[in-house]
Amino acid sequence: MDSEYKSYIKIFITGCLWGTIGLFVKLMEAQGSSSSYTSFLRLLSASILLAVMTLIFDGPKAFRIGRKTLLSCILLGTFCQGLFNILYSMSISMNGMSVGSVLLYTAPIFTSITSMLLFKEKLDLLKWIALLINVAGCTLTATGGDFSAASLAPLGLLFGVGSGFTYAMTAVIGKIALQEDASPFAVATYNLFFGCLFIALVRWPWRTVENPFNAKLLLYGFLFGLIATALAYSIYFSGLSKITETSKVPVVASIEPVVATIIGVFAFSENMTVIKMIGILLVLLSILLFSRKSKP
């Protein structure tokens, strides 16, 4: 199998792991966690786990990275982790989940445009069609086409667009971070560590919960960090390092809302409507269109 196709499979697996995020968020909310404390526990436990994984697989020398990689990791952590979490939560609180989801899933468009400008990637007509199909599919899958509880607060819209942009930059900045042949494990470790530090300094998340040392809450935070973060990002950066077209990454990873919807149906008895099924089919179609080999 072509090494680049293997990398796309890794990104696809990452999207599946990210699809469990909603499950862990709900479990932690049931234990009295806030959005900022959930994000903090997730990034803290994941950065510790990834540091151990880096030592095991690549050794202590892997932590010695170049200045360009270190700067990219700082941007990944503060911008694509810390700031993204804050913007997305504020977008949802102001405009509701449906509008927040729509604005978040504009990320592939931002990634494609940025990749075109920075990496000189070409976007043909079929790619633009696939992008629109992907945004529509993610929107229908996440919302079921129900916008009845949505509102359009101007500041909330700005936060929503910001969340889509910061999420989109994960693939772009991550690609730059891996250009010096840095260890994917080390890049993921630094990325999550700086994200954790950013949230700790900006939000003081332990003050937002009644009992930050709740045993069940800490256990769920650890599992969140292990499954949907440490494991996911180690696979993500391993795949990203071998991909030539960065614009394809967020589209392939957009299997996330599909997995999240399926988990919602089986774990929380949510309805699988016809609109959601159409959304899932559109997402899968866009992934197939983007996974085709480009002409040299």
**Are the C-beta atoms of 174 and 61 separated by less than 8 Å?**
no
Q: How far is CA 52 from CA 49, 173, 228, 241, in A?
A: 5, 24, 17, 21
pTM of the model: 0.90
**Are the C-beta atoms of 180 and 69 separated by less than 8 Å?**
yes
**Model pLDDT for residues 193-222, shown as the tens digit of each residue:** 999 999 999 999 999 999 999 999 999 999
Nearest-Å Rg of the Cα atoms of the chain is 18
**How far is 160 from 269, CA to CA, in rounded Å?**
28
One pLDDT digit (tens) per residue for the chain, 296 residues: 578 889 999 999 999 999 999 899 999 999 999 989 999 999 999 999 999 999 999 999 999 999 999 999 999 999 999 999 889 888 887 877 777 778 888 899 999 999 999 988 888 888 899 999 999 999 899 888 877 766 678 888 899 899 999 999 999 999 999 988 889 999 999 999 999 999 999 999 999 999 999 999 999 999 999 999 999 999 999 999 888 889 999 999 999 999 999 999 898 888 899 999 999 999 999 999 887 665 54
**Model pLDDT for residues 271-280, shown as the tens digit of each residue:** 899 999 999 9
